[in-house]
Amino acid sequence: MNENIILKVQNLNVEFPITGGFFNRVINTVKAVNNVSFEVKKGEIIGIVGESGCGKSTLAKALVGLAPIKNGSILFNNQFDLAKFKTESKWRKVRKDIQMIFQDPIASLDPRMTIGNIIAEPLKILYSGLSKQQIKTKVLDMMSKVGLNVSHYDRYAHEFSGGQCQRIGIARALISNPKLLICDEPVSALDVSIQAQVVNLIKQLQKNMNISVLFIAHDLSIIKHISDRIFVMYLGNIVESAVTHDLYTYPRHPYSVALLKSILLPKVDKQSLNNILEGELPSPLDPPRGCPFRTRCNCVIEKCSITKPVLQTVENGNQVACFNPNK
């Protein structure tokens, strides 16, 4: 494996069983992440976009052991296959190196703990040799880095705004000096006026600490601002992978084209996206045969209904899973 690669995911599948009947038997399966493969370089910011229900958050949770992995591999730092970690004792080996920022900044903080204790918790668990004073010094330094007033050390989460709570979450995630930071829609619950501040903060801290970032969002304008490369997901599949400039200038997959058209509309929501795409998003319980996007695609050909396209490399190392890509 290339030493410059911090994370290599191969053929990852995440499935959730649907049970029913008198004996509560498995009657169907939701394929939330379907045979996904990608690499993340050291110091790189990867953006992941797609509609709600496309598998973005499930993929993120699988990478930190919060979603069941059916099969596949997740090679971290050329040392550990995270897909084989079944117990918390094994995850402890990498917890300090892989951290996550959650979507709801307020719900992710314990209301019974002070801000200082919330940020300090990873240090107490992962670095047992640190003294109380050493921990407090590190916490105060991190609070300053994320733009929090150090005088708020002994205050509680309910006393802060959503934007401030997300800064607390960022401080907690970065206090262990991780190598990989996973951001699961970290600004979607914030006011528009605050979103840019948080995104700029994450980008600045990433640069200063030289960490790799997986940044999940449904807002393509935010993804464009922060990402080096972008993965476009649809129905549990990565359908396009491209350098940010290339994706926004020459999108290859019809779904990427539709997503980019949607950001030009005055009001971007599910209905506006449906006005661009044909039909409704298929159910993951019964995905289309062949290409998963064919039921909504205006570039469909006969082969699309028979064979599922796989990612093929095009120019600049970009990839697209389409038999009839945009030229």
Given a cut of 50, the residues of the chain with pLDDT beneath it are 265-270, 272
Residue 118 lies in a domain: no
Residue type, 301: I
Q: How many domains does the chain have?
A: 1
Q: Using CA atoms, how far apart are residues 188 and 175, in angstroms rounded to an integer?
A: 23
Domain of residue 315, CATH code: 3.40.50.300
Q: What is the pLDDT of residue 265?
A: 47
Q: Using CA atoms, how far apart are residues 53 and 287, in angstroms rounded to an integer?
A: 13
Q: What is the pLDDT of residue 159?
A: 93
Helix (H, G, I), strand (E, B) or coil at 27: strand
Residue 269 lies in a domain: yes
Q: What is the pLDDT of residue 220?
A: 87
Residue 258 lies in a domain: yes
For 201-259, the pLDDT digits (tens) are: 999 999 999 999 999 998 888 899 999 999 999 999 999 999 999 999 999 999 999 88
Q: Write out the residue range of the structural domain in which residue 310 sits.
A: 5-97+178-320
Residue 142 lies in a domain: no
Q: What is the pLDDT of residue 236?
A: 94
Residue 130 lies in a domain: no
Q: What is the pLDDT of residue 274?
A: 54
Strands (DSSP E) along the chain, which ranges? 5-20, 25-41, 45-49, 69-76, 80-81, 98-101, 180-184, 212-216, 229-234, 237-243, 312-313, 319-320
Beta bridge partners of 74: 9
Q: Using CA atoms, how far apart are residues 24 and 272, in angstroms rounded to an integer?
A: 39
Residue 148 lies in a domain: no
Q: What is the pLDDT of residue 98?
A: 96
- Give the number of C-alpha atoms closer than 13 A to the C-alpha of residue 202, restricted to the C-beta side: 37
Q: What is the pLDDT of residue 269?
A: 47
Residue 163 lies in a domain: no
Q: Which residue has the tokens 């970690």?
A: 85
Q: What is the pLDDT of residue 83?
A: 94
- pTM, full prediction: 0.90
Q: Using CA atoms, how far apart are residues 190 and 62, in angstroms rounded to an integer?
A: 25
Q: What is the pLDDT of residue 20?
A: 83
Residue 35 lies in a domain: yes
